Amino acid sequence: EVCSSDLRQFPGENNSLGRIKFQMPNPYAIYLHDTPAVSLFDKPRRAFSSGCVRVEKARQLAGLLLQNENAPQHNLLLDIESGETRIQPLSQPLTVYLTYFTSWVDEAGRVQFRPDIYARNGLLLRLLRHTDQIARDGRSTRQLAEAD
């Protein structure tokens, strides 16, 4: 018999999500969060996560998000240090885009490449090989990718 349960940590300085969590509505339960493991930001490969995104300067981000709210910045720092859980919704929604790039052109015009740690490039390459078919026979990109 399989039992279903939730595992939760108490809030505080040792919580693996840190002291600040930025919730965003999405079907995947992905959010941005602080971390007590700040040494992870010094590592060249930092994909140590179960799907959420660590924010290196979470307090600064929180301050920016609350800049136009009725909560002064000094209150934010007091709230964080108090150890009490506080939910502070934004009065205006903010759109957040999480993107994944393994190559790009930098400011100097050089193409940069990075490892494809999520193995997403294979699908993209298959789709690029069949762009003429997409236009010709109307199959969806998903159908073409699965057929290859």
Active-site residue identified among 3, 33, 74, 130: 33
Helix 58-65 / helix 73-82 crossing angle, nearest 10 deg: 130
Cα separation, 54 vs 34, in Å, equals 6
Q: Does 55 have pLDDT greater than 70? A: yes
For residue 15, what are its two tokens? 């919580």
| Domains of the chain, residue spans | 1-92, 103-147
Q: Is-catalytic flag, 52?
A: yes
Q: Which of 3, 52, 74, 130 is catalytic?
A: 52
Residue 85 and residue 83: Cα distance in Å, rounded?
Answer: 7
Q: Which of 19, 92, 12, 27 is nearest to 61 (CA)?
A: 19
Mean pLDDT of 104-124: 88
State pTM to two decimals: 0.66
Can you tell me the mean pLDDT for 33-50? 67
User: Hey, which residues does 33 pair with through a beta bridge?
Assistant: 21, 54
CB atoms within 10 A of CB 18: 21
- 33 noted as active-site residue: yes
> Above 60 in pLDDT, residue 2?
no
Which residues pair with residue 113 across a beta bridge? Answer: 103
